[in-house]
Amino acid sequence: MQNQRKGLAATKTRGEVSGGGKKPWKQKGTGRARVGSIRSPLWRHGGVVFGPHPRDFSITLPQSIRDVALRSAIQAKAKDGSLLVLESFSLTNAQTKSAAVIFKNLKVAGRNAKAKSILLLIEKSDENMKRALRNIEFLNVNLVKNTNAYEILASRKVIVTKDSLDELIKRLKK
C-alpha cells in the first residue's frame, strides 16, 4: 500500500515564487533593514522555508518476503473458506450475461457483493473472457503470475481454476 501513495504535497521556496527579482531598496542609507528580495520567507507572499516537496514513498521488498506473504494470504483464504477452486473456467461467447450466470450459480454474486470484492485468478486471458468479465462490478480479474498478497487479502472471495492454482504453487515453490 505504501507504493500506491502519491507524495504530491508541494510548496514554493523563495526561488520558485514569481516576482522578487529586483532589490527593493538600496543596501545602505535608508535606515531600514537590508533586503534582497520581496519574496523572502519573512515577507507576506514570500516563499516557504522548509515546506513539503513531491517525493517517492515506494519501497522494494525482497522477493522471498513477497512470496511468504502471498503464501500466507492464500493459506488464510483457504482456512476461512474464501478460496474457491474450479475445475475450469471458460466462456463460449463474450457476453456478460452468461458470465454473470456462472457467478450466480457459484453463489458468490449476491446482494452483499460489493465493488471488486471477488478476485478471479486465471492462467491466461483471451479476448472473449475480457469482454464478458469487464462489466461485472463485483469482480476483479487478474493473471495468476501477476497476483500479490494485498490483492488476495483485499478481496472477500478468491476464485481460482485448478490449472492456475498449480501455476501459483509452482511459482511459490521456487
* Longest alpha-carbon distance in the chain: 90
- What distances in angstroms separate CA 82 from CA 73, 85, 143, 166, one per listed residue? 11, 10, 18, 18
Chain position carrying cell 457459484: 106
Q: What does the pLDDT read at residue 40?
A: 95
What is residue 28's predicted lDDT score, i.e. its pLDDT? 95
pLDDT in tens, 73-91: 999 999 999 898 988 887 7
Q: What's the pLDDT tens digit per position in 147-174? A: 999 999 999 899 998 988 888 888 888 6
- The pTM of the full predicted model, rounded to 2 decimals, is 0.73
33 Cβ partners below 8 Å, 6+ apart? none
Which domains are assigned to the chain? 1-60 (no CATH), 63-173 (3.40.1370.10)
Is residue 114's pLDDT more than 70?
no
Q: Which residue has the cell 522471498?
A: 64
